[in-house]
């Protein structure tokens, strides 16, 4: 594996367990679902992000138990982790070629059931515009283009949601903050922000 992959460590596992209650186990994808849905989602994101001057690599496809265990262990609960049958990971860079983060998709072989977008910023958050662009594309393309109509939690747009999390995190002494869960088109979204040695790790979760 020659791609740089960001991890949020145990924080990711704890956060997912606290939110994810129906994504695995009982849900069976309909017969019409294509096994290429992971690649389709990644292709759409790659095309749309390129329009914002952010490059996204072709996805690494992780199918074997060993690869998934090494690169896609996002669940502290072993039984939940066993249900991860497939995983893709992509790398994000800005227009100058600087590494920004990753987009991971995990779930059943036929359909992704959780998308995790990780963006690392420096201590001054000089990459905040990239964070907003990436999260906006992810929500619009993987969830819906309905945010402006719904205005969840009274945020006019994704940018306001990101700014709200930034302000909340800056006003607290904790090293980890999370937003309220937002439900759009039967998908659950949650934003998290963690202070680390490099600056700040932004985490966007999208659950089926």
Parse the chain into domains and list their residue ranges. 10-19+34-207
Are 160 and 174 spatial neighbours (Cβ–Cβ below 8 Å)? no
Residues paired with 86 in a beta bridge: 107
DSSP string, 113-157: EEEEEEEEE-TT-TTHHHHHHHHHHHHHHHT-S-HHHH-GGG-SS
Rg (CA), the chain: 16
pLDDT at res. 7: 57
pLDDT band at 13 (very low <50, low <70, confident <90, very high): very low
Choice between 77 and 165, residue whose per-residue pLDDT is larger: 165
Contact between 27 and 186 under an 8 Å Cβ cutoff? The reply is no
Q: Residue 29: is its pLDDT beyond 70?
A: no
Contacts of 172 (CB under 8 A, 6+ apart): none
Query: Does residue 88 surpass a pLDDT of 70?
Result: yes
Q: Per residue in 116-149, pLDDT tens?
A: 999 999 999 999 999 999 999 999 999 999 999 9
Find out whether 134 and 117 touch, Cβ atoms under 8 Å. yes
- Please say if the pLDDT value at position 19 is more than 50: no
Whether the CB-CB separation of 191 and 204 falls below 8 Å is answered with yes
Looking at every residue in the chain, the average pLDDT score rounds to 85
Whole-number percent of the chain with pLDDT over 70: 83
Tokens for 27? 């849900």
* pLDDT for residue 110: 85
The arithmetic mean of pLDDT across residues 73-101, rounded, is 89
For residue 90, which of 136, 52, 39 has the smallest C-alpha distance? Answer: 39
Mean pLDDT of 67-73: 88
């Amino acid at each position: 594996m020659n791609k740089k992959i960001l991890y949020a460590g145990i924080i990711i596992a704890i956060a997912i367990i606290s939110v994810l209650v129906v994504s695995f186990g009982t849900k069976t994808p309909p017969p019409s679902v294509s096994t290429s849905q992971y690649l389709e989602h990644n292709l759409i994101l790659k095309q749309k992000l390129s329009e914002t001057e952010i490059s996204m690599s072709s996805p690494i496809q992780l199918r074997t138990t060993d690869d998934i265990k090494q690169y896609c262990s996002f669940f502290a609960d072993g039984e939940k982790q066993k249900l991860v049958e497939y995983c893709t990971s992509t790398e994000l860079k800005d227009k100058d070629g600087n590494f920004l983060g990753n987009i991971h998709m995990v779930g059943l072989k036929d359909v992704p059931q959780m998308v995790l977008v990780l963006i690392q910023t420096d201590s001054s958050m000089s990459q905040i515009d990239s964070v907003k662009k990436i999260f906006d594309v992810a929500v619009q393309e993987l969830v819906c283009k309905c945010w402006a109509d719904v205005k969840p939690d009274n945020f006019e747009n994704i940018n306001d949601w990101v700014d709200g999390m930034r302000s909340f995190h800056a006003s607290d002494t904790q090293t980890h903050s999370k937003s309220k869960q937002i439900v759009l088109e039967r998908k659950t979204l949650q934003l998290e922000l963690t202070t680390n040695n490099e600056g700040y790790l932004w985490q966007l979760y999208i659950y089926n």
